[in-house]
Amino acid sequence: MKNPVELIGNPTERTNSRPLQWLAQSKIMGVAWTAMRVWLGIMWIQAGVAKLWGAENSAFLHNNGAGVAGFAAHGTPAYSWWGTFLHSFVVPNSGWIGILVAVAEFTVGVALVLGLFTRVAALGSLALLFTYVMSGTASVCAFYALFAIVILATWRTSSWIGVDGLVAGYRQRHNDRQSTPENAAEIVRLANRAA
């Protein structure tokens, strides 16, 4: 039998095709990915605001999370083990879970709009969507999940215009300043003096 590395190749030597590299690294596409990120964030903010201060407030923050309990008790879960989880854990704890869902949706939305902790926010979006789909809600979940996956795959350019991009730019400028030849010569001079 051949060596597996010979058969399938060395993963460190693999490269993406040029079109995929362009899609992931282009500043032009970065604007499109940013628009996707901001749109998804706005959708999460709207959902969170409805639960925190809007029409869904009484079902999530009050009445012991009646909206969560009703959904978990009467929804159509994707798997029987998930249904058991909903009935045995979510229904009895629906009060704090309702608050958690409302705050999580709003927080994920704000983070995505600002481009702050973009990867974590996209993962949070996927986690929320996973629980909704597993609990029997389809609606726009697949569309939101597609956007979250694209944001994760293109996180460098999708967060380029945002707080993460500002922080990365600052770090890069700061590191470039520290690694200039003048600083390198100063470091060598100080090292020689210490020796």
Please choose, from the candidates 95, 99, 75, the residue with its C-alpha nearest in 3D space to the C-alpha of residue 85: 75
Residue range(s) defining the domain that contains residue 66: 30-161
- Sole residue written with tokens 């500043």: 27
Tens of pLDDT, residue by residue over 142-183, are 889 999 998 888 877 777 788 888 888 888 887 777 665 566
Q: Is residue 173 part of a domain?
A: no
Flag whether 167 is in a domain: no
- Note whether residue 189 is domain-resident: no
Q: How many CB atoms lie within 10 A of CB 164?
A: 21
Is 154 within a domain? Answer: yes
Task: Report pLDDT for 168.
Answer: 80
Is the per-residue pLDDT at 108 higher than 90?
yes
Q: Which residues contact 20 (CB under 8 A, 6 or more apart)?
A: none
Beta carbons of 124 and 48 less than 8 angstroms apart? no
Instruction: Tell me whether residue 46 is in a domain.
Output: yes
Count other C-beta atoms under 10 Å from residue 74's C-beta.
9
On whether the pTM is more than 0.85, the answer is: no
Q: Write down the residue that tokens 């795959």 correspond to.
A: 153
Q: With respect to residue 4, please indicate whether it lies within any of the assigned structural domains.
A: no
> Has residue 113 been placed in a domain?
yes
Percent share of the chain, pLDDT over 90: 32
How sure is the predictor about 133, in pLDDT bands with cuts at 50, 70 and 90?
Answer: confident
What's the domain count of the chain?
Answer: 1
So what's the pLDDT on residue 52?
Answer: 93
The confidence band for 194, taking pLDDT boundaries of 50, 70 and 90, is: low
Decide if 18 is inside a domain: no
pLDDT in tens, 19-78: 777 777 777 888 888 899 999 999 999 999 999 998 888 888 888 888 888 888 887 888
Write down the pLDDT at residue 63. 87
